[in-house]
Amino acid sequence: MTDASGLQSKQLLKGPPWAAALSPHGDLVAYADERAVRVVSLLNGQSLTLASLRGERIGGVTWSPNQRAVAYIGGEVQGDLFLAAYPPGSQPPRNLGPWYETISFSPDGKFILHAATVPWKTYQVLETVNVETGKRQVLFETQEERSITEAQYSPDGSHIAFRMSEPPPPAPPADEPECGSPERRLWVLAVGSKNPVEINLSRVQQQWTNVKDFAWSPDGKRLTVGIGTNDCDYPGNANGVFVTSLDQTVQFKLSRGEQSLRATFSPDGKKAVFTEYSDAERHPQLMIGDLATRKLTPVAKTQSSQGDVPTALGWR
């Protein structure tokens, strides 16, 4: 954990967690290690166990908006969605059924969103589950042979952003290796609509089109978008962090180099922190960008030379 300058930091865990998330109030961190899903207080360092694990690997951890529950993906065979109360009570975590990919609560905490694989089909759907009843509802269906990843509600609950793969390209010649994943683009769906709109950044970047990541601004009117090349090895040969308004009238590149990704907005929406490989050896460094001036400021003491990539889990 570090402050925005990076001058005051402390280690919370002895080893890297499988998944972690900062709470909405910014005073707790939920994380999963090989034995349990836990919550640690940033105020006093005390830790509570929400759920014990039996060898299953956790695929994601997310707080509910009211900070009274932690959702996580677990299971020994396939991923199921679990909801654990915080503070922990006498009841075990609820199993809300099969789950794929990311976890995104609606701002009112009533629904959780994800991309679901349709059995025996080659397409996916955007699906919500009602937290109280467990009932599921399909919001959008993809075309054949397209997949959805990282679906997220906007903070105001009016839109859903998600990455969707492009149709698969023709198979390469037999003497060329098949490599890389399908190229993905960023789409936004207005809640209640069935017709998503693609976020097109070609006006400010024509060379790269593969979307690696995105994040909503606190007011839900802008997005940071990490786009780059689609290579065999993640994160690829080149990537940049861009900012776009929801209506796509304002777009610009925030990062300065050609190897930056995973941006997160500040609480006031005026800045964004992202990982940048800024030196000749491509050592990763957390960088804060001012959205009005485009000025970049490195966060102190985050550069790594041992293969660990510093990534901002959240900013409170």
Q: Does 286 fall in a domain? A: yes
In CATH, what number is assigned to the domain containing residue 225? Answer: 2.120.10.30
What per-residue confidence (pLDDT) applies to 75?
A: 75
pLDDT per residue as tens digits for the range 195-207: 999 999 999 998 8
Specify the pLDDT at position 53: 84
Give domain status of residue 296, yes or no: yes
DSSP string of 226-295, one letter each residue: EEE---SSTT-S-EEEEEEETTSSSEEE--SSSBEEEEEE-TTSSEEEEEEE-STT--EEEEEEETTT--
% of the chain exceeding 70 in pLDDT: 81
In a domain, 149, yes or no: no
The per-residue pLDDT for range 216-267, each reduced to its tens digit, is 999 999 999 999 988 877 677 889 999 999 999 999 999 987 889 899 999 9
Whole-model pTM: value is 0.85
User: How many domains does the chain divide into?
Assistant: 1
Domain that residue 212 falls in: 199-316
Q: Residue 40: pLDDT above 50?
A: yes
Tens digits of per-residue pLDDT, 64-102? Answer: 999 999 999 987 666 899 999 999 988 999 999 989 878
Residue 266 lies in a domain: yes
Residue keyed to tokens 């023709």 = 170
What's the mean pLDDT in 296-315? 64
Q: Could you tell me if residue 127 is inside a domain?
A: no
**Is residue 55 domain-resident?**
no
Q: CA torsion sign, 243 to 270 to 278 to 311?
A: negative
In a domain, 300, yes or no: yes
Long-range CB contacts for residues 178-182, cutoff 8 Å, separation at least 24: 179/231, 179/232, 180/230, 180/231, 180/232, 181/230, 182/147
Q: Is residue 285 part of a domain?
A: yes
